[in-house]
Amino acid sequence: MHTLVRFLLLCSLAAVLPGALAVHADEIVADSSQSSVKPKPISYAVIVHKKNPVKGISFSELRAFMKLDRQFWPNKKRCEVFLPGRKTGAYKLVLERIYKMKHKKLQKYWVRKLYAGDIPAKPSYVPSAQAASAQVKRSLGGLSVVRSDRVTKDVRVLTIDGKKPGDAKYALTEKSKKR
């Protein structure tokens, strides 16, 4: 932000003093590279109902639950998947890491499973982490993926392969984007 303000000030100076911008252009570039802070990678949490007895699962178990290949929790409650909204980072990550397919292929996957009688219904989409938490809170078998910094107190976060969101090598952390 500081760099942007300086740039705008220099632009207004350039209008009044024609050589002002050329003198300070190198300073802006140098300053922006020095103040560049590497953003912290975003982790996503797998959330379930608080009364779900499961506290942690393996990544392969997570994939089985999310694909509804495994439909019941140990307490005999049916797993109800609430997918993140299509335009969220959580949905993009879920498609890439868990389903390993694009949106259209996932839609065809659900239709095939539904018409084969393998599942009672396709998973619902929830528009936000808040909505996902609310749905999971209402469903004893609820399961969703949300940004870890948006988890509410009324749901449980599962560990994946013994790791929590934010831990090194946690399975649902976005890879850093190179600048």
Output the pLDDT for position 83.
98
| Residues 101, 129 within the same domain | yes
Expressed as residue numbers, the domain containing 117 is: 44-160
- pLDDT at residue 138 above 60? yes
Please tell me the distance from the alpha carbon of residue 167 to that of residue 175, in angstroms, as a whole number: 13
Output the pLDDT for position 172.
96
**Within its chain, how far is the Cα of 123 from the centroid?**
17
* DSSP result, 22-46: HHHHHHHHHHHHHSPPPPPPPBEEE
| Residues 90, 156 within the same domain | yes
Count up the domains in the chain and report the number.
2
| Residues 145, 83 within the same domain | yes
Please tell me the distance from the alpha carbon of residue 88 to that of residue 103, in angstroms, as a whole number: 13
119 neighbors 79 (Cβ within 8 angstroms): no
Output the pLDDT for position 99.
97
Output the pLDDT for position 175.
77
Q: Which domain CATH number covers 50? A: 3.40.190.10
